[in-house]
């Protein structure tokens, strides 16, 4: 199981309805995208960090390990805005307003990713997928997503075991050996994926599969107080951004 999935299953908000956490997490993401980067995105990022490290109870080290991946994509997307191609000064030159645009993009995307991580760190995928049928998503699509989600952990475990076996047999001692081991890893994982899929299909057929996977969903009711507090937080961020925008340069 991935660290973020383990954190979601052991979260303080594990028993809350996914709709509550979606309103808060995706609401913060929407505010980060729609509000001005300064000071809106900064306030959204601060609020998301406060909720993640406070009421949600996410460990700072675990949060950083999960956030550094999307943060790397945010930085990668912001760097090209620092330059312009073509022009009288040369083929590649610094953009006049590049630092401002890059900074704004970095603020928006990093704050928006924190809102998504808030939902991911508090809501297991197994709690969300079965409820999508009630939201109008076709049941076969949900079933395929649920099966792929569960089988992915088995494949990741198989890949880790194969990698350990290759390292124990000195398969990573040199560049050529590492490439051969990587090719063997890919081919073995491909074969095992088809084997897992065939065994899963046989197991479902033996259990009378009729086109619908029936799973137990933990009972949860929507807490109106939580929704009210989330709405108040989002409205407060919007109001504070509009007020500070008039006084901050």
Q: Is 58 exposed, middle or buried (0-12, 13-18, 19+ CB in 10 A)?
A: buried
Judged by average pLDDT, the poorest of 33-37, 115-119, 135-139 is: 135-139
Q: What's the mean per-residue pLDDT of the chain?
A: 85
Give me the mean pLDDT over the 16-24 stretch: 89
* CB contact at 8 A, 16 and 131: no
- Identify the three-state secondary structure at position 225: helix
Neighbours of 48 (CB within 10 A): 27
Give the pLDDT mean for 4-13.
84
Cα–Cα dist 113/91, whole Å: 34
> Contacts for 128-134 with beta carbons within 8 Å, 24 or more apart?
128/18, 130/215, 130/217, 131/18, 131/217
Query: Residue 222 has what pLDDT?
Result: 82
Could you give the 3-state DSSP secondary structure of residue 163?
helix
What stretch of H or E contains 85?
strand 83-85
Per-residue pLDDT of 145-157, as tens digits, reads 877 877 787 788 8
Q: For Cα atoms 193, 194, 200, give the angle at the middle one, nearest 5 degrees.
A: 90
* Residue at token pair 């890059």: 102
* C-alpha–C-alpha distance, residues 37 and 52, integer Å: 21
For helices 18-34 and 42-53, angle between their N-to-C axes, nearest 10 degrees: 160
Q: Whole-model pTM?
A: 0.79
Angle formed by the axes of helices 98-122 and 18-34, nearest 10°: 180
Query: How far apart (Å, rounded) are the C-alpha atoms in residues 130 and 234?
Result: 28
């Amino acid at each position: 199981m991935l660290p973020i999935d383990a954190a979601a299953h052991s979260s303080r908000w594990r028993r809350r309805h996914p709709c509550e956490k979606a309103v808060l997490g995706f609401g913060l993401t929407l505010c980060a995208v729609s509000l001005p980067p300064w000071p809106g995105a900064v306030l959204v990022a601060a609020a998301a960090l406060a909720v993640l490290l406070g009421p949600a109870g996410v460990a700072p080290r675990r949060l950083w390990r999960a956030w550094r991946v999307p943060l790397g994509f945010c930085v990668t997307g912001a760097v090209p805005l620092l330059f312009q191609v073509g022009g009288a000064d040369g083929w590649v030159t610094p953009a006049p307003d590049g630092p401002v645009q890059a900074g704004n993009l970095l603020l928006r995307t990093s704050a928006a990713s924190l809102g998504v991580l808030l939902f991911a760190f508090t809501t297991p995928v197994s709690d969300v997928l079965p409820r999508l049928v009630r939201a109008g998503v076709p049941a076969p699509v949900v079933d395929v997503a649920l099966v792929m989600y569960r089988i992915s952990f088995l494949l990741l475990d198989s890949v880790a075991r194969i990698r350990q076996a290759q390292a124990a047999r000195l398969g990573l001692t040199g560049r050529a050996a590492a490439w051969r081991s990587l090719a063997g890893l890919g081919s073995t994982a491909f074969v095992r994926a088809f084997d897992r899929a065939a065994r899963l299909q046989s197991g479902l057929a033996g259990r009378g599969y009729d086109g619908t996977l029936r799973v137990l969903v933990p009972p949860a009711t929507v807490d109106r107080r939580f929704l009210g507090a989330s709405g108040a937080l989002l409205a407060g961020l919007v109001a504070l951004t509009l007020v500070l925008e008039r006084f901050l340069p």
